[in-house]
Structure 1
Amino acid sequence: MSTKTSDPANAGQIRETRLADALSERYLAYAMSTIMSRSLPDVRDGLKPVHRRLLYAMRQLKLNPEQGFKKCARVVGDVIGKYHPHGDQSVYDALVRLAQDFAVRYPLVDGQGNFGNIDGDNAAAMRYTEARMTAVAAALMDGLDEDAVDFRPTYDGEEQEPVVMPAAFPNLLANGAAGIAVGMATNIPPHNVGELCAGLIKLIDKPETSIAELVRCVPGPDFPTGGVLVEPHENILEAYATGRGSFRLRAKWEVEKLSHGLYQVVITEIPYQVQKAKLVERIADLMVAKKLPLLNDVRDESTDIIRLVLEPRTRAVEPEHLMEMLFKNTELEIRFGLNMNVLDGDNTPRVMNLREVLRAFLAHRQEVLIRRSNHRLAKINHRLEVLEGYLVAYLNLDEVIRIIRFEDEPKNALMKAFDLTEVQADAILNMRLRSLRKLEEMEIKNEHAKLTEEKEGLEALLASETLRWEKIRDEIEIMRENFGKKTAIGKRRTEIGDAPEEIEVPLEALIEREPITVICSKMGWIRALKGHVADISDLKFKDGDEHRFAIKGFTTDKLLILSTAGRCYTMSCDKLPGGRGHGEPIRLSIDLPQEHDIVSMVVHKDGRNLLVASSGGRGFQVAEKDVVAQTKNGKQVLNLGAGEVAKIFVPVEKNHVAVLGDNRKLLIYPVDEVPEMTRGRGVILQKYRQGGLSDLILFNLEEGLSWTMGGSEGRVRTVTELAEWTGKRAGAGRMPPNGFPRSNKFE
């Protein structure tokens, strides 16, 4: 690759350069320019070059807080013409943000006109809006004319601009910063100035103060839009100790009671940098997508005060459950990152912790104080020199007048006659005649005495580091008085809350509770009919298929299904296919092998037990919560012997169990004799010489044992005298009462 050199001495020469080397050199220059001159703030004044130039241009235009406004177009024109040769829109955008009280914790620009809003609407064009500096911006530039900081030539060399502001305000942490450079980024949240002042004073009083002690003074960010900080204290401490981390921020909400037991949730503060209009739009989109089942409606009733109204679907919905769902799915909860990557006093980018940032600010204030004191001392020395010359002139007034009237070179004559310096001689020659009054002489003597006293104080200040820190401490106290928590702008806006406990939103709360009737056919096709259907005789099934199970429940229920392999599966009733058509094969929802079939299905009820039994006559009670499966593969509950299958799966809601064997022997005993287990083969329910378990039901002894008679009439017979068949578990039993069905089944 051939490149032309930019050195004027070598102009026109062509130098052979490898493409990789040329790209590397140019990209490095671009990266450094982005890091140093665009994206990262200075730790001393917390400003990027564009913001610093904006404020300096406004100062040059005398847009002080107590004076009038000027068009923003005038400010932007001066900035891009004199200091910052970039696009006018980007400069105006930077100015607008400095004026937005919802974007900047302590605005640096006082805007007049439309400067945008929290909904995300843009500001009016710069020709319509006006601006001036705020008291905070004035504090940042306090001492700029007193040699407090270095100046450098502007890009065209025609003017000078400050390298950094004197910064009598901890702007970096107070207003925060965000920027993306090449290979690095910064993200600093805003903080409360009153708390920062407390931390600074603590560092002055005790330089070895730990991060933990500083965090007691600065407990966390203070965002302009408020909200509630719910990050655990140990995480906040870790973030400030390393300079990296994140903060969990939630919207602030309250419950408003309405008539008839109804209520609505009102959001009064939203997280920082969240656009309200987009937030409402996001919530509405989730409602349309049915991902917020607890929410019925959202309304924006905001004026200049935020008021988002959330209407729950029913009065039974808990406000905490509603908000937990919104926090998880919307920007009502955000994580704001902390990455305190800044340019230090040597213009080196690095990540600082909280103590290092505060110390860097104090070190800058120390340097500014020394420079301002030296500047003032030089001014005082010059003035004292002039005043001493005036006093000489008053003491020898007639001779001074004679020399001025008659000498050809009065300046040299004065210097020679009274041993004056050139400065003193010039001052005497430039003195007005009206200053020759006797009163003026007294004023000069008084001024000389005051300046002498001030000079002694400045010399003592410059000689003593202790006095300088006392002076800086007084300045910080004044800053706290002007911008601290007792002022309107200084009150903490973001509430420091406790880390929230994880709220488990119950399934019933997420799903609208509607009655259904679950239908499962003999071939395993399942569907859910709306409502509790009493008559299912008209239902149609596939050819060769027929009805097997009909269970009434609700969409919020879970369905427990036991297979012949002793494995329990769980299905959510809200996910069952609808009642139109024949439904879907149940094997699409659960991993039920083809060689196994469904034994029974029941609606899950928490706190209840189930009785499971195998064809071999063994079984046990199991808590329903222990059989609920989380996967399609189910959970093994009943272990089976050789040749056995699971046969019984019934809720334990009665006090006695009736067991019927293949040998047509009936045994009755209290259900409490069947122990509770979590998994296994179980205990012997009934002994058999041949065969196994035919049927089992649970019933209340005082109500008698009932069974369905044979025939088309479906008559039910109940026997209350059951002492003959009542015994102990694992007994053989006796033949059932006369008239018991030949099918050897209770139903």
Structure 2
Amino acid sequence: MSSDVPDPTDVDAARVEHVRVEDEMEQSYIDYAMSVIAGRALPDVRDGLKPVHRRILYAMNEMGVTSRSSHRKSSSVVGETMGDYHPHGDKAIYDTLVRLSQDFSMRHPLVDGQGNFGSMDGDPAAAMRYTEARMGALAEELLADIDKDTVDFQSNYDDRLTEPEVLPSAFPNLLVNGSSGIAVGMSTNIPPHNLGEVIDATVELIDNPDVGIDGLMDHIKGPDFPTGANIVGRDAIYSAYSTGRGRIRVRAEMELEETETGRDRIVVTEIPFQENKARMVERIAEDINEGKIEGVSDLRDESDRNGVRVVIECKRGANVELVKNQLLESHVERTFGVINLALVDGQPRVLTLKETLEHYVEHRKEVVRRRSEYDLAEAEDRAHILEGRLHALEHVDDVVEAIQDSEDRDAAKTRLREDFEFSEEQADHVVRMQLGSLTSLESEEIEQEYESVQATIERLETILDDESELLSVIKEELLEIKDEYANDRRTKIIEDVGTVTHEDLIAEEEVVVVITEDDYVKRMPAANFDPQGRGGKGIIGADVKAEDRVSKVFRANTHDYLLCFTNHGQVYQLKTYEIPEMGRTARGKSAINLIDLDDGEEITAVVATDEFESDECVTMATRDGYVKRTAATEFENVLSTGIIAANLEDGDELVDVAVTDDSKDIVLATEGGMTIRFDVGDVRQMGRNARGVGGIKLQDGDRVAGMVATDEDDENSLLTVTQNGYGKRTPLSEYRCQSRYGKGLIDIKTGERNGPVTTVKSVSEDDHLALMSERGQIMRIPAADISQVGRNTMGVTVMDVEEGDAVASVDVLPAADNQ
């Protein structure tokens, strides 16, 4: 190294500080966070603007691109803003300019755009070289009086120019247009409001500083979104206004129309704020195609420049309210999370509604005070000049002579100050006066102007000396803005009738549930099956595979809770609507997807009930003739994995279940055609883990087929159906009550023709029956079509069962459902 070049290692550092790296990282991160918070992401509570918004508007004002000028290329506005005030890239500035012009983003747009500035479908704006912009008329109110020393200015980024720290803001823009932004460790999400309502609330606060949130909400009903729609409930609004945070549900506006062909259509005319309409329509279409939304035949977007119009055509006979609920669950209702976070004196604070307005009023007081001081100084300067002119007119001849005798203008001014006691400003003005201003008419005009200026001075001094006068000026100016710019509320507030639940999305109807031995299950509307005559073959109700057979069919309401009892003595709970609805020829869905069945376990009995009475019991019968009775309350909280209903001996199975009270009798029927009737009180109540007591003495090879609960005054008949499709009705009164655990009486002759008994049911003349064969044939017949005969008879053909097939199950469709 040359001796002329100093060795850098020999240079002493001017200052060396030893710091812990974690301390330096912490402080640096805090500095960065505060820079983002104060300089980029959060609005100022006084004017409701972030720096980029403020700089765009100020740049347009400096360019003279006001609401009264012609539009200018957006690229010109962006360039001026970036070059003089906001050196952060043109994209960020243009995106902000675009949003300021969108009437679906801003409740009162601050920029008047010309060209393609995007859409509610998420379409981007055209490039800045293709669009034009100018300030909106209301934006000028934010900048009004900025040239009267109403706000402080600061140097721009390169110290060439100055820019305002905040705008004078003649209206509460933070609430009117809202704001959203993500800072470091915090975010803001302030909804827009109605200008007239916000001004009325501000005036109320000025008149009554002790007003509470309730009083302010007499004026501000809630957020007023540019896209309209509906706010659901008022509690969330109150919470947001009183705490600064809240979750407001916003629901699309939907109207019902009837087409020329008599079908119904749902028309969405207003959507939630910040919802992407095209994406919303796309999601609705996906759910329609996947079957999650039922009853829709067509979907189209007919929106245009006049507004939103998304049409959902319903199928003929579809439940329109059900379709609306399905739309509400996932597509046309959104939650707006309110976080009223803004900068107060440069620090982020979560503010209540009242605090937000209080800070705005304090800002306006400062603006009006400084403007009044500026105007007062201007008026006093003008009054001083006018006093000089009037004094000159009083001595006009002497003044003119003194000026004529002076060598030059400076000498004239000096003589005027010395001879007539004019001030420097007055002398300068008098010297520059024209001779035409010495006429008597001109003199009168000067006197009138002087009186007017004096009145202005007195008014301004009053404003500065009396705060009530200052506040009256603020109120007056706010009300003038309201009269000129306010418009009607767009967002309606509707009562909260509860959150839409999954159950609300299911039409309430009577269905037939089919279960196979391999535990495939499905439901079908009972109305799909027309009544047939006795002895028919029925129609296909389930497409079972060769090794499988139908084991159970029963009626239920889609909103019923089902207690599913299995042959192993377990009980599971599910809602009917959780069973998939499928067509007649469908096989069904494996029940293991709905309930956790063990190997070899199958559903043998189902109880459909919404709520047990306190005095009711669940009475169970097993294949081996045991009966047990357990309080229904023990089945109110059934685990998803099931609970024990009965403790069975090896080889025994649970076969049937009934809900009973103390007034009931129990009728047990066997596959061999025997029946026994006894008082349910003969079976004591016992816990779920009990086996039960003997109900009937079975002959060798016989098994219990079913159970019926009846009472002494029951006028129904006992329906008995055998595997080969034969059956009969016998009045229940013909089955006398016996002691429990007897052999019973002959009910029906089984034998080769009839085959063993499949089931027994209690039916009335007006009931219908749903019969299903093991191979999936189903038929519906009126109970009255089956002959009513005595005990110990053969019965008549109920269902024409093909060879190799058998009646698997029978259920009753009550008379009330057959009207």
Pairwise TM-score range, normalised by the shorter structure: 0.7 to 0.9
- Percent of aligned positions that are identical: 35
Aligned residue for 1:205?
Answer: 207
Contact 1:569 1:629 in 2 (8 A): no
1:261-304: CA deviations, max 9, x gaps? 52111000001111111211222233344433454432101112
Aligned residue for 1:6?
Answer: none
Question: What is the CA-CA distance between 1:592 and the residue it aligns to?
Answer: 3.7
Picking from 32, 41, 44, the partner of 2:43 is: 41
Question: What is the CA-CA distance between 1:434 and the residue it aligns to?
Answer: 2.4
Aligned residue for 1:234?
Answer: 235
Aligned residue for 2:641?
Answer: 633
1:430-488: CA deviations, max 9, x gaps? 2123222221111111111111122112112211112112222212221221223xxxx
Aligned residue for 1:492?
Answer: 489
Aligned residue for 2:479?
Answer: 477
Closer/same/farther in 2, CA of residues 680 and 503 from structure 1, 3 Å limit: farther
The letter for the 1-side match of 2:570 is R
Contact 1:668 1:727 in 2 (8 A): yes
1:536-556: CA deviations, max 9, x gaps? 9997645xxx74626488997
Give the Cα–Cα distance (whole angstroms) in 2 for the partners of residues 737 and 29 of structure 1.
Answer: 92
Structure 2: segments with no counterpart, 5+ residues? 1-10, 530-537, 759-819
Structure 1 stretch displaced more, 19-28 or 54-63: 19-28
Contact 1:613 1:620 in 2 (8 A): no
Contact 1:568 1:628 in 2 (8 A): no
1:712-733: CA deviations, max 9, x gaps? xx58475969987523563736
Closer/same/farther in 2, CA of residues 390 and 701 from structure 1, 3 Å limit: closer
Aligned residue for 1:121?
Answer: 123
Picking from 298, 308, 311, the partner of 1:309 is: 311
Question: What is the CA-CA distance between 1:745 and the residue it aligns to?
Answer: 5.1
Closer/same/farther in 2, CA of residues 724 and 121 from structure 1, 3 Å limit: closer
Aligned residue for 1:746?
Answer: 757
Give the Cα–Cα distance (whole angstroms) in 2 for the partners of residues 448 and 724 of structure 1.
Answer: 119
Contact 2:142 2:168 in 1 (8 A): yes
Partner SS state of residue 366, structure 1:
helix
Aligned residue for 2:368?
Answer: 369
Closer/same/farther in 2, CA of residues 427 and 570 from structure 1, 3 Å limit: same
1:170-218: CA deviations, max 9, x gaps? 1010001111122222111101111111111111111111122212221
Give the Cα–Cα distance (whole angstroms) in 2 for the partners of residues 550 and 146 of structure 1.
Answer: 88
TM-score (norm 1): 0.83
Partner SS state of residue 237, structure 1:
helix
Aligned residue for 1:267?
Answer: 268
Closer/same/farther in 2, CA of residues 28 and 591 from structure 1, 3 Å limit: closer
The letter for the 2-side match of 1:498 is E
Aligned residue for 1:7?
Answer: none
Aligned residue for 1:726?
Answer: 736
The letter for the 2-side match of 1:730 is R
1:560-639 aligned at under 5 Å gives the runs 561-569=564-572, 572-574=578-580, 590-594=595-599, 597-598=601-602, 600-601=604-605, 612-614=620-622, 615-619=624-628, 632-638=640-646
Picking from 676, 686, 690, the partner of 1:667 is: 676
Contact 1:561 1:598 in 2 (8 A): no
Partner SS state of residue 342, structure 2:
strand
Closer/same/farther in 2, CA of residues 404 and 207 from structure 1, 3 Å limit: same
Contact 2:620 2:656 in 1 (8 A): yes
Picking from 492, 499, 503, the partner of 1:502 is: 499
Contact 1:617 1:693 in 2 (8 A): no
Partner SS state of residue 67, structure 2:
coil
Give the Cα–Cα distance (whole angstroms) in 1 for the partners of residues 77 and 65 of structure 2.
Answer: 10
Structure 1 stretch displaced more, 93-102 or 152-161: 152-161
Question: What is the CA-CA distance between 1:307 and the residue it aligns to?
Answer: 0.3
Structure 1 stretch displaced more, 397-406 or 626-635: 626-635
Query: How many residues are paired up?
Result: 714
The letter for the 2-side match of 1:659 is L
Question: What is the CA-CA distance between 1:634 and the residue it aligns to?
Answer: 2.8
Structure 1: segments with no counterpart, 5+ residues? 1-9, 485-489
TM-score (norm 2): 0.76
Closer/same/farther in 2, CA of residues 403 and 702 from structure 1, 3 Å limit: closer
Contact 1:152 1:162 in 2 (8 A): yes
Question: What is the CA-CA distance between 1:150 and the residue it aligns to?
Answer: 1.8
The letter for the 1-side match of 2:326 is M
Aligned residue for 2:397?
Answer: 398
Aligned residue for 1:3?
Answer: none
Question: What is the CA-CA distance between 1:680 and the residue it aligns to?
Answer: 8.9
Question: What is the CA-CA distance between 1:124 and the residue it aligns to?
Answer: 1.7
Closer/same/farther in 2, CA of residues 613 and 98 from structure 1, 3 Å limit: same
Give the Cα–Cα distance (whole angstroms) in 1 for the partners of residues 542 and 22 of structure 2.
Answer: 82
Structure 1 stretch displaced more, 436-445 or 506-515: 506-515
Partner SS state of residue 143, structure 1:
coil
1:401-444: CA deviations, max 9, x gaps? 22222224111111000011111111111212322222111111
Aligned residue for 1:387?
Answer: 386
Give the Cα–Cα distance (whole angstroms) in 2 for the partners of residues 430 and 731 of structure 1.
Answer: 131
Pairing 1:98–2:100 present: yes
Give the Cα–Cα distance (whole angstroms) in 1 for the partners of residues 57 and 730 of structure 2.
Answer: 97
Give the Cα–Cα distance (whole angstroms) in 1 for the partners of residues 174 and 693 of structure 2.
Answer: 77
The letter for the 2-side match of 1:255 is L
Give the Cα–Cα distance (whole angstroms) in 1 for the partners of residues 426 and 117 of structure 2.
Answer: 55
Aligned residue for 2:249?
Answer: 248
Contact 1:151 1:161 in 2 (8 A): yes
Aligned residue for 1:646?
Answer: 654
Closer/same/farther in 2, CA of residues 549 and 627 from structure 1, 3 Å limit: farther
The letter for the 2-side match of 1:380 is A
Question: What is the CA-CA distance between 1:659 and the residue it aligns to?
Answer: 3.0
Give the Cα–Cα distance (whole angstroms) in 2 for the partners of residues 677 and 325 of structure 1.
Answer: 44
Picking from 728, 732, 746, the partner of 1:736 is: 746
1:605-626: CA deviations, max 9, x gaps? 8799986323454256999x99
1:417-496 aligned at under 5 Å gives the runs 417-484=419-486, 490-496=487-493
Give the Cα–Cα distance (whole angstroms) in 1 for the partners of residues 744 and 733 of structure 2.
Answer: 11
Closer/same/farther in 2, CA of residues 369 and 662 from structure 1, 3 Å limit: closer
Question: What is the CA-CA distance between 1:313 and the residue it aligns to?
Answer: 5.0
Picking from 164, 189, 192, the partner of 1:190 is: 192
Partner SS state of residue 271, structure 1:
coil
Closer/same/farther in 2, CA of residues 297 and 467 from structure 1, 3 Å limit: same
Give the Cα–Cα distance (whole angstroms) in 1 for the partners of residues 730 and 278 of structure 2.
Answer: 71
Across the aligned residues of Structure 1 and Structure 2, the Cα RMSD in angstroms comes to 4.4
Partner SS state of residue 574, structure 1:
coil
Partner SS state of residue 187, structure 1:
strand
Partner SS state of residue 267, structure 1:
strand
Picking from 173, 176, 180, the partner of 1:174 is: 176
Aligned residue for 2:516?
Answer: 519
Give the Cα–Cα distance (whole angstroms) in 2 for the partners of residues 258 and 621 of structure 1.
Answer: 55
Partner SS state of residue 298, structure 1:
strand
Give the Cα–Cα distance (whole angstroms) in 2 for the partners of residues 249 and 738 of structure 1.
Answer: 64
Contact 1:563 1:599 in 2 (8 A): yes
The letter for the 2-side match of 1:268 is T
Contact 1:366 1:469 in 2 (8 A): yes
Closer/same/farther in 2, CA of residues 295 and 605 from structure 1, 3 Å limit: farther
Structure 1 stretch displaced more, 258-267 or 737-746: 737-746
Give the Cα–Cα distance (whole angstroms) in 2 for the partners of residues 343 and 241 of structure 1.
Answer: 18
Question: What is the CA-CA distance between 1:259 and the residue it aligns to?
Answer: 4.9
Question: What is the CA-CA distance between 1:41 and the residue it aligns to?
Answer: 1.0
Aligned residue for 1:89?
Answer: 91
Question: What is the CA-CA distance between 1:746 and the residue it aligns to?
Answer: 3.1
Question: What is the CA-CA distance between 1:501 and the residue it aligns to?
Answer: 1.9
1:607-664: CA deviations, max 9, x gaps? 99986323454256999x9979976523444566999752334799xx9964357999
Closer/same/farther in 2, CA of residues 328 and 446 from structure 1, 3 Å limit: same
Contact 1:589 1:632 in 2 (8 A): no
